[in-house]
Structure 1
Amino acid sequence: MLRKLVSGLAWATILPFSLSLDSPRQFQLTVTWENRSPDGFSRNMILVNGQSPGPAIEINEGEEVWVTVLNQMPFPTTMHYHGIEMLNTPWSDGVPGVTQREIPPGGSFLYKWKATQYGAYWYHAHRHGQLDDGQYGPLTIHPKENTPTPFSLISQDRNTITAIENAVANAKPIQLTEWRHLPSDDIRKIEIAANMEVPCYDSLLINGKGKVDCWSANKTASLLSPEQKQLLAIIPGINSMTAKSCLPAVIDAKVIAAGFPTNISGIPPQIFDICTPTTGSQTVIEIKKGESESTARNGTTWVALNVIGAYSTITTTFSIDELPMWVYAVDGEYIIPQLVNAITITNGDRYSVLVQLNTVGDYTIRHASTLPVQLIAGQATLSYRDGREPVPKNQTSKPYINEGGTALAPTVVFYNQTMQKAFPPSPVADNADQTFILTMGNTDAAYKWALNGTSQPQTLDVDNPILFKPQPNLLNNLTITTRNNTWIDLIFVATHIPQPAHPIHKHSTKMWLIGSGHGVFKWPSVAAAKQEIPQSFNLVDPPKRDGFSTLDASRGPTWTAVRYHVTNPGAWFLHCHIQSHLLGGMSIVIQDGIDHWPTTPPEYLNYKG
């Protein structure tokens, strides 16, 4: 496989550097709090090196990486490198209270780690709701030479494979986010005052650009799903979504609050009921035929895209009009490719896709929310040009999905995670050494969430990270402890009804999704459950990822089982990646490999900012 060797700094910094591949690859990320208008509405937000998303970090597998984060904001922050295993460097994982102390205003922090993986990743804030305020950016690790690739399963023509390899070496990031016109701290205060979450957004962005669309009542009504129609019928006299195409707050209070008392008078009208359209802006990804080695001899051009779900809350359908996508990697690792028209994407997901371009023109990139709480969509443009061919006049590309995220024809093929197979195969152990059954749900308020019964933020000490003071015998609702080189089963059970699917992310270690089902998980282990319901498990070739969505529990209990191998001792965060759930406490810390606990270097142990 052709490898894109990157050297030096990805952008101008004040740090010294060397072009030697034996020297650390050094980057500087400066975070600031400034006024910008990504969707046409101005508000203060977080910029990374003056932009959001932040600049792309590109490195080669095997390199040492140094990232200096300079905090020029009026409040503390940290930076997490999502999906990076941080092998033997847990102090660079970026979680306050777990692996580091916060970076104070005016302070800096040097994250040192080794790129032991390849693939598509991203970096983002891991303090409060700062991800929602724009602190994120793409991260790509180019694989070592001779890394096995699955591209011969897409084409056996050597010239085409070479074009694909070159496209992959120059993959373009697409970061998908939702956006609000109020900062995350203000939203959190509103949720606490209302005693409920407020999952209604102003716009969807692609690579930091978008606009506010205010749909007519007729358009919104035409896009309603059967579930949304049922929800609107809960309260007599209410039969339509709000001006923002959201479920009315009074219905959210009944459904999302799950029986807890609420105070919807504490929610400003602009959250649910007021929509003011903007012209905004749109991301355009330009591809020029013949200007790169990704054009094959048959005249077709290949483009690779790293699609990153940098969402706070929602799940979407993603597609590109008229252009099927070969999904060739998921969460940074190669898979047996799937040819699809659409992909369901949620918080933290990364899908690497290849698109074959044959005809010049503009093709609309779409993502549309599939959660019942709101109908909202966003767009960008993939522009394919050839200087020798005229662009079709008044061209409008034909979509695979509508603005409700629903397929427009029965022939539209969605990515199938159940059929996801690692390339090359990545076997999972037949049995686990330990099993932890983790309950999910609200605690004493609708905005408070728990993973294993207790809301985490109440006890996490940002001044004394768990990495610095492990407790070998600790086993409680906030922390679980494992031994090195053992296999662990985590079984996530949703017994409090209703509750949504939760995108669960484990830091450091990828997990295998070995089973899931509806109903109560009544067994002490997977082994016991497998004897009664073997059809619910796959221990032969299950999907492997660093994040999985649990099954939706809107109508009854559900369970999801994952298995992982303890190979990287340290304190690692396990949490729901929905930001309001994380802020509400839906997280635990895993003390992995307590018998081989790493010694934290003095510069991290004694860090004060």
Structure 2
Amino acid sequence: MLGSLSSSSFAAAVAIVLGCCHLTAAEDVKYYWDIGYVKANPDGQMERQVIGVNGAWPPPPLHVSLNDTLVIEARNSLDTPTTLHAHGMYQNGTNYMDGPYMVTQCGIPPGQNMTYRIPITQTGTYWIHAHYGAQYVDGIRAPLILHNPKEPHKYDDEFIVTLEDWYHDQASGLLKEFLSWKNPGGAEPVPNGALIGSVGGDKHKIIDFMPGKTYRLRLINMSALAMFHFSIEGHKMHVIEVDGVDTEPMEVGNVRLAAAQRTSVLVTALNSTGSNYLFHADMDTDMFDNIPESLNYNSTGLIRYRKGAEVSRDKGEPDWSAFNDIDLVPLDGMEALGFDVTYSLDVYFNQYTDALNHGTFNNITYVMPKVPTMFTALSMGADALNATVYGPQTNAHMVGHMQDVQLVVNNFDAGNHPFHLHGHHFQLIERGPAPYDPTYNPRPKSAPARRDTVTIPSMEYVVLRFRADNPGTWLFHCHIEWHIEGGLNMVIIEAPDVMQKRIRVPQQILDQCAAAGIPTTGNAAGRQGFDLRGAPEGPYPYPLGWTSKAKGAMAGCILSALVGFASIIWYGWSSQQTYKPVATADDNEVLDAAETQGRFGRMDPDSAAIN
């Protein structure tokens, strides 16, 4: 049976008790979030402005149970718009509550409120964060735990363990440095440190164990960039959940979590209180272009059996054998899907015609349309079935209602990327070295692993499948925040004909779009039909071969070179005529003086400057 949640707030305990006691009567679980600027110094190194909730940081965890409705009354006390995205939530029928700016929402204007109402139809470990600009890097992120009244796994207590990279500089400034012509290689900002449970530096996360008890650790990577490796000295771990999908227990020595991924592990406490033990949350430095000397990328916390007990250390090498998530077996045994439609997505990072380094799918970098994509799907009638109306830079891909969809993602970039699909879990069908052979027919396991965020290493591919049972406009993107802002996004347009019948956008959202001057009808340009004049487009890849501008530039260079050579020849010839010496015993001295005067002018020996 699930015991008391000693690691959580009283509100969390109440939420669980309610979830266990009202198996039939659903209710609204309400939170009020006043989103505003506060000061924080979580690593003890530097106090900085962060984005907090209700005047404090970090924002509190949210707890809600299956079949309830999560209600968040959000007030925007910032000086910019903001949105909230409940990461991993299906939002079936409530696409307008998903949160990504200019995809499903126009943003909450400064000084205004927004009521998020999210029906809870799933369980597991999730999180919530801003989906406007790079705001979540500045701290607006929190765990979201969806409790199952009929929990399939047995444990006595549970703890939330958040893993976060931390920056001392504001995200807006870091983003300008990242998206700059001075950064042609696209080097991501390296964090200043790591936080475990929103603390770092000399502070340590402490988890209290009682001998013989079994604990669930809900691990959540809420980072902008960093991947973490989690392990516990002296203890075994069994994975029982990834990204909200319950799995058959699998023993592991190390859990690897990319940005936005979640994993629950069961840990059975030892039978002695004689020692305490370290747990590790180490950042994967392969993600960083450089490693500053001041960066402590090996973070630790303490499993405490008794206050003041010595810390027992493992002898020998740690077990770094990270499990392969494709080997996990979902507890529900859902069979492998086939596919009715397949899309191949090739991932690249390149410098584009705006001189910036952009992430792309199939050489298209994402640019926001003038009309949020969901509103285009809802307002364009039959034309909404044509991907053209969503604009040249949204990378829109159409799928029909209840189609089984296959995504083949080839990562041709030099770095690893965690890709997240909104509105769905997908099956992990296969991994392998890129490129994927389209003539190959993979044979998935009978019950493939499922999750909503998958890591694809450099020069590898992954095959994903999901059923289009959730009409809406859903982002598919890399969850490294710098890459989101750099354009590594696409939008899946799922059954817009069904959307038009089922989805009714709340007036509050329409009013906020109007207040921001953002249209809510028409194509990506705010026009009707296929007239896309004025739709945002570009930048583009540098074209192969010689463009007219390049030819003109080269002609100018050649002409300038010819004029320069002619000037040198003429100047040298005229110098010889002016300074032709009379042959004397000092011929060499005179010639030297003439060459010096004619070629270089007069050198002032005191200033060593050319006059």
1:515-565: CA deviation from partner (whole Å, max 9, x where unpaired): 222243342xxxx321xxx4xx42423221101112312xxxx32210000
1:226-254: CA deviation from partner (whole Å, max 9, x where unpaired): xxxxxxxxxxxxxxxxxxxxxxxxxxxxx
Determine if the alignment matches structure 1 residue 362 to structure 2 residue 362: no
Query: For residues 111 and 8 of structure 1, what CA distance do their matches in structure 2 show?
Result: 23
| Residue equivalent to 1:197 | 187
| Residue equivalent to 1:599 | 503
| Residue equivalent to 1:294 | none
- 5+ long unaligned stretches in structure 2: 15-20, 516-611
Distance 1:399 1:56, change over 3 A: farther
Letter in 1 for 2:414: Q
| Residue equivalent to 1:325 | 237
CA contact (8 A) 2:279 2:303 kept: no
Q: CA deviation at 1:494?
A: 3.1
Determine if the alignment matches structure 1 residue 574 to structure 2 residue 485: no
| Residue equivalent to 1:251 | none
Query: For residues 117 and 362 of structure 2, what CA distance do their matches in structure 1 show?
Result: 32
Distance 1:379 1:317, change over 3 A: same
Distance 1:512 1:43, change over 3 A: same
Q: CA deviation at 1:129?
A: 1.0
Moved more, 480-489 or 437-446: 437-446
Query: Any idea what SS the aligned residue of 1:282 has?
Result: coil
Distance 1:576 1:33, change over 3 A: same
CA contact (8 A) 1:451 1:575 kept: no
| Residue equivalent to 1:415 | 323
| Residue equivalent to 1:295 | none
Q: CA deviation at 1:365?
A: 2.4
Distance 1:544 1:3, change over 3 A: farther
Letter in 1 for 2:198: G
Query: For residues 54 and 219 of structure 2, what CA distance do their matches in structure 1 show?
Result: 22
Query: For residues 96 and 88 of structure 1, what CA distance do their matches in structure 2 show?
Result: 18
Distance 1:603 1:459, change over 3 A: closer
Q: CA deviation at 1:321?
A: 1.9
| Residue equivalent to 2:62 | 57
Q: CA deviation at 1:202?
A: 0.8
1:147-200: CA deviation from partner (whole Å, max 9, x where unpaired): 5x2x4xxxxxxxxx5xx2x32xxx211111111111110001112332233332
Query: Any idea what SS the aligned residue of 2:428 has?
Result: strand
Largest Rg, 1 or 2:
2
Letter in 2 for 1:455: T
Mapping for residues 253-268 of structure 1, pairs under 5 Å: none
Query: For residues 546 and 50 of structure 1, what CA distance do their matches in structure 2 show?
Result: 32
Letter in 2 for 1:564: F
TM-score (ref. length: structure 2): 0.73
Determine if the alignment matches structure 1 residue 334 to structure 2 residue 246: yes
Letter in 2 for 1:202: N
Query: For residues 422 and 579 of structure 1, what CA distance do their matches in structure 2 show?
Result: 29
Out of 58, 70, 74, which is 1:69 matched to?
74
Q: CA deviation at 1:602?
A: 3.5
Out of 159, 166, 170, which is 1:172 matched to?
159
Query: Any idea what SS the aligned residue of 2:110 has?
Result: coil
Mapping for residues 168-317 of structure 1, pairs under 5 Å: 171-193=158-180, 194-195=182-183, 196-211=186-201, 280-287=202-209, 289=210, 300-317=212-229
Query: For residues 176 and 341 of structure 1, what CA distance do their matches in structure 2 show?
Result: 18
CA contact (8 A) 2:179 2:356 kept: no
1:243-276: CA deviation from partner (whole Å, max 9, x where unpaired): xxxxxxxxxxxxxxxxxxxxxxxxxxxxxxxxxx
CA contact (8 A) 1:366 1:377 kept: no
CA contact (8 A) 1:32 1:48 kept: yes
Q: CA deviation at 1:354?
A: 1.3
Distance 1:131 1:465, change over 3 A: farther
Q: CA deviation at 1:604?
A: 4.5
Letter in 1 for 2:505: P
Query: Any idea what SS the aligned residue of 1:33 has?
Result: strand
| Residue equivalent to 1:529 | 440
CA contact (8 A) 1:447 1:580 kept: no
RMSD between superposed Cα atoms in Å: 2.8
CA contact (8 A) 1:504 1:548 kept: yes
CA contact (8 A) 2:430 2:444 kept: yes
CA contact (8 A) 2:429 2:465 kept: yes
Query: For residues 217 and 56 of structure 2, what CA distance do their matches in structure 1 show?
Result: 20
Q: CA deviation at 1:462?
A: 5.3
1:404-455: CA deviation from partner (whole Å, max 9, x where unpaired): xxxx25x5543231321111211122x2111111121124156311123222
Query: For residues 505 and 25 of structure 1, what CA distance do their matches in structure 2 show?
Result: 27
CA contact (8 A) 1:56 1:138 kept: yes
Q: CA deviation at 1:8?
A: 11
TM-score (ref. length: structure 1): 0.73
CA contact (8 A) 1:317 1:343 kept: yes
Query: Any idea what SS the aligned residue of 1:32 has?
Result: strand
Query: Any idea what SS the aligned residue of 2:367 has?
Result: helix
Query: For residues 436 and 93 of structure 2, what CA distance do their matches in structure 1 show?
Result: 35
